[in-house]
Structure 1
Amino acid sequence: MLNSTFTEPDLTTFTGLDGLGLTAIGQYLGAAKAEILCHVTTPNPWCRTCGGEGTPRDTVTRRLAHQPFGWRPTVLVIKHRRYRCGHCQRVWREDLSRAAPERQKISRTGLAWALNGLVCQHLSVSRIAEGLGVTWNTANDAVLAEGQRLLIDDPARFSGVKVLGVDEHVWRHTRTGDKYVTVIVDLTAVRDGTGTARLLDMVPGRSKAVFKTWLAGQDDQWKQGIDVVAMDGFTGFKTAAAEELPHAVEVLDPFHVVKLGSEALDQTRQRVQRGQHGRRGRKDDPLYKCRRILTTGLSLATDKQKAKLEDLFTAPEYEPVQLVWSVYQKMVDAYRQPKPEIGRWALEQLINGVGSKVPKGLPELKKLGGTLRRRKTDILAYFDHVGSSNGPTEALNGRLEHLRGIALGFKNLTHYIARSLLETGGFRPWLHSQS
């Protein structure tokens, strides 16, 4: 650092106390924590009841957890005066509202550090509590309340939503069964190519009634602005969207369409395997050895994998598997077409063919054809609204799984929803601008 100019150390500015209305007057560095002694920068001895001037009565001490420095917990030891009004005899303390909210044990700077750590750095509440030197409950309650006030309750959070994504999510696994929530996601930035998906809300349960009730609770003007609703194959979401958003286009995303094909292929393979051997597949069985190759897109398969498929399909007993496999490959190929209009035409031809011409003895393919025919409009709508896919919603579900792993699971659904909104609600640019 050439020609650098150093000034006298300013502990107040370094620790961010000037923004809290405090001035540092001393410090103590211990092995476990650091303490900064400070007082109110601008005292206000005037009575808020009668306006008379108060006289100092005594001094009290308030301790606030502050932003850690070097991961050493830092405590603000604030000496602030109490005054007594000579006119009305009222007693009051110096105002510390700039330093911390009322009855809060963490300074505003400490809260901002904790919220940034939770949302941007993916820290656990335990790690945040350790950095602040407070208990887990104190850190959790303070951070969730600040996040709720500052970010989740922001009325602008729902503005500009044009594309909705909806999916189910398992938030807790129990011995009596999985517990679900319905996840509503904003996909507008993904479609426009300006950003990533962000979580709008999570509602307990998974059903048509859950999604319909949530939509019914939104403002009519907001609902009129929704152009597209991307979803999986669950008909409850489709019915709810059709009733509450009749003007919006419903899109069944490619992931779930291709998944329907892969499930039909796996079921056919398993049925043929049981019919031939009377048991499940084993490692030396031809069908079992090719189970991964069968669900690999042909354009991505290696020469060795293609050779294995050719050898497999030479056996006449595997013809049902080959027929369903060819349908699956055509589905994958349609979505990989560089031009949407070509992909739309190819998939429409496939749906028409599978829906009307299914050889006998292929119940899996018949079922697949019926599903594709019923959801034909939603499936083909994807090519008219490229980018309005529910894939980013699935990606958000993966991030929520990561969140559950960081926290070692959740038992409180309210905490889980709040943490999920902070984790995937698209608040990072705002938080980075505040840090």
Structure 2
Amino acid sequence: MQSATLWRRLLGVEKTVVEDVVFEEEVHGAGRLIVRVRPMSTIAGRCGQCGRRCSWYDRGEGRRRWRALDFGEVMVFLEADAPRVRCREDGVVVAKVPWARHGAGHTHAFDQQVAWLATQCSKTAITQLMRIAWRTVGAIITRVWDDTASGVDFLAGLRRIGIDEISYKRNHKYLTVVVDHDTGRLVWAGVGKDKATLRGFFDALGTERSNRITHVSADGARWIAAVVAERCPNAVRCADPFHVVKWASEALDEVRRQVWNAARADTATLRARRAAGRENHSIGHAKALKDSRFALWKNPENLTTRQQVKLAWIAKTEPRLHRAYLLKEGLRLVFQLPLDEAAEALDRWIGWARRCRIERFVKLQRTVVEHRTAILAAIEHNLSNGLIESVNTKIRLITRTAFGFRSPHALIALAMLNLAGHRPTLPGRR
């Protein structure tokens, strides 16, 4: 095998002429291997962005270096001229090179390995192994994702989608994510949690494909419902059962805190009276209520013996709180019934909550009435946001693993590389 062919194989480059190899010694390092290269004549003089053959403009900034994969402990760089060409579409740009993406300072193989590592390990490990900065990891991930997305239509064939938001940073920093129910893949993510962000997804989808959407699952957020009604008038909107039951659980917990605070106030009064020697009442009622949260939250079939005793005690001592618990359980059981029975049970629950004289549940029934059609649609089509919540959990894990991203776009790129069905592969592997 000729030495030039061997060097091309070792470097993982194609359509490249290897002119010379030089080793540069370093005082406090392992040295650098400088491989002087040039593009083959078949692709020389092309636009770096569109790839069209263009007229020569100037020499640019002279010779440049691109970081390649290391040879053991030795860092490797490709060195070549970087002339500029004049393109009719893109203007004056640096000429295309076959070993690296336009505007990148690393070879294709280097980018590919960093992107693969980003889907497998922490960002800190990547910086130490590849000897690059944190920002460089984010830039490479974004480049690789843009290159991947340019050749794949992730929005093709969408019929049933789920929409949700996820917090990725403090101070109310959110991403809006869209998942395909049929494939389980993340198909789109955008920065923000509002109508404008979601409209960006439907703009990318297009009017024709938006009209083909048949089902949309989401929580009760009004900004989602408004945009879906505007852009997908033919789609059936399904309210996520988990979020609906969560509304009831939050209402129950609010009632529990009200009862607990009232018991604390009574306890303080009893202590004062007991200190004065006038009465000797038990003052453990408030503490017993404080420890009742999990007994009230858990499903009846999952209660421990101790929690069952606690629930029976609440039924005897706090009938208002117990009534709130029954209302929560009644709404949860609606989702376990067939459609015709569920519709009747939901109407009965609404009437019960309306007359329950518990302010928080009277308010909740108004919300349930507003989303009644979407709730019944979720039961009819057996659609929920469980898949979307699973994707959100994976995005949170990615966020923790790859901490340090300053830009949410790098996080979106990493999430898409992990969850969109087109993970990067190691160089030289199929």
Is 2:185 aligned against 1:197?
yes
Three-state SS of the structure 2 residue aligned to 1:165 is strand
Q: How far, CA to CA, are the matches of 2:424 and 2:132 in structure 1?
A: 28
Q: 1:67 to 1:173 in 2, by over 3 A?
A: same
Query: Who is 1:162 aligned against?
Result: 159
Query: Who is 2:379 aligned against?
Result: 383
Q: How far, CA to CA, are the matches of 2:284 and 2:394 in structure 1?
A: 35
Where in structure 1 are there 5+ consecutive unaligned residues?
A: 1-9, 50-59, 83-94, 190-194
Three-state SS of the structure 2 residue aligned to 1:157 is coil
Kindly report which structure 2 residues correspond to 1:45-84, keeping only aligned pairs within 5 A, or say none.
63-68=65-70, 72=73, 74-76=75-77
Q: How far, CA to CA, are the matches of 2:300 and 2:120 in structure 1?
A: 40
Q: CA deviation at 1:324?
A: 1.9
Kindly report which structure 2 residues correspond to 1:347-386, keeping only aligned pairs within 5 A, or say none.
347-358=342-353, 359-386=355-382
Q: 1:81 to 1:237 in 2, by over 3 A?
A: closer
Q: 1:48 to 1:137 in 2, by over 3 A?
A: closer
- Which stretch shows the higher mean deviation, 21-30 or 298-307? 21-30
Q: How far, CA to CA, are the matches of 1:231 and 1:391 in structure 2?
A: 10
Q: 1:434 to 1:349 in 2, by over 3 A?
A: farther
Residue 163 of structure 1 contacts residue 229 of structure 1 at CA under 8 Å; is this kept in 2?
yes
Residue 165 of structure 1 contacts residue 230 of structure 1 at CA under 8 Å; is this kept in 2?
yes
Q: 1:138 to 1:272 in 2, by over 3 A?
A: closer
Deviation per residue, 1:31-60 (Å, 9 max, x gap): 9557556565996599979xxxxxxxxxx9
Query: Who is 1:233 aligned against?
Result: 220
Residue 208 of structure 1 contacts residue 236 of structure 1 at CA under 8 Å; is this kept in 2?
yes
Is 2:414 aligned against 1:427?
no
Residue 65 of structure 1 contacts residue 73 of structure 1 at CA under 8 Å; is this kept in 2?
no
TM-score after normalising by structure 2: 0.74
Residue 66 of structure 2 contacts residue 105 of structure 2 at CA under 8 Å; is this kept in 1?
yes
Three-state SS of the structure 1 residue aligned to 2:373 is helix
Three-state SS of the structure 2 residue aligned to 1:277 is helix
Residue 263 of structure 2 contacts residue 285 of structure 2 at CA under 8 Å; is this kept in 1?
no
Is 2:259 aligned against 1:251?
no
Picking from 398, 403, 408, the partner of 2:403 is 408
Q: CA deviation at 1:294?
A: 0.8
Query: Who is 2:101 aligned against?
Result: 101
Kindly report which structure 2 residues correspond to 1:263-302, keeping only aligned pairs within 5 A, or say none.
263-278=250-265, 285-302=287-304
Three-state SS of the structure 1 residue aligned to 2:153 is helix
Q: How far, CA to CA, are the matches of 1:128 and 1:162 in structure 2?
A: 38
Q: 1:406 to 1:288 in 2, by over 3 A?
A: same
Residue type at the aligned position of 2:253: D
Q: How far, CA to CA, are the matches of 2:328 and 2:428 in structure 1?
A: 47
Q: CA deviation at 1:345?
A: 4.3
Three-state SS of the structure 2 residue aligned to 1:285 is helix
Q: How far, CA to CA, are the matches of 2:285 and 2:428 in structure 1?
A: 55
Deviation per residue, 1:257-297 (Å, 9 max, x gap): 11011011111212222233328999962222111111101
Q: 1:368 to 1:76 in 2, by over 3 A?
A: same
Is 2:176 aligned against 1:179?
no
Query: Who is 2:147 aligned against?
Result: 149
Deviation per residue, 1:202-261 (Å, 9 max, x gap): 143x23454345425531221122111111111221122112111000011111011011
Cα RMSD between the aligned structures?
4.0
Deviation per residue, 1:69-99 (Å, 9 max, x gap): 66x5641455x699xxxxxxxxxxxx98222
Q: CA deviation at 1:17?
A: 3.0
- Which stretch shows the higher mean deviation, 142-151 or 279-288? 279-288
Residue 231 of structure 1 contacts residue 250 of structure 1 at CA under 8 Å; is this kept in 2?
yes
Q: CA deviation at 1:146?
A: 2.8
Is 2:15 aligned against 1:17?
no
Q: How far, CA to CA, are the matches of 2:349 and 2:248 in structure 1?
A: 11
Residue type at the aligned position of 1:173: R
Q: How far, CA to CA, are the matches of 1:373 and 1:427 in structure 2?
A: 42
Q: CA deviation at 1:381?
A: 1.0
- Which stretch shows the higher mean deviation, 270-279 or 254-263? 270-279
Residue type at the aligned position of 1:202: G
Picking from 375, 387, 401, the partner of 1:392 is 387
Residue 65 of structure 1 contacts residue 133 of structure 1 at CA under 8 Å; is this kept in 2?
no
Q: CA deviation at 1:155?
A: 4.8
Q: 1:14 to 1:333 in 2, by over 3 A?
A: farther
Query: Who is 1:114 aligned against?
Result: 114
Q: How far, CA to CA, are the matches of 1:410 and 1:77 in structure 2?
A: 28
Three-state SS of the structure 2 residue aligned to 1:258 is helix
Equivalent pairs, count: 383
Q: How far, CA to CA, are the matches of 2:255 and 2:45 in structure 1?
A: 80
Query: Who is 1:188 aligned against?
Result: 181
Q: How far, CA to CA, are the matches of 1:431 and 1:331 in structure 2?
A: 50
Q: How far, CA to CA, are the matches of 1:232 and 1:96 in structure 2?
A: 47
Where in structure 2 are there 5+ consecutive unaligned residues?
A: 47-61, 83-94, 268-282
Deviation per residue, 1:367-388 (Å, 9 max, x gap): 22222222111011112222x3
Residue type at the aligned position of 1:355: I
Residue type at the aligned position of 2:76: V
Query: Who is 2:312 aligned against?
Result: 310
Residue 199 of structure 1 contacts residue 426 of structure 1 at CA under 8 Å; is this kept in 2?
no
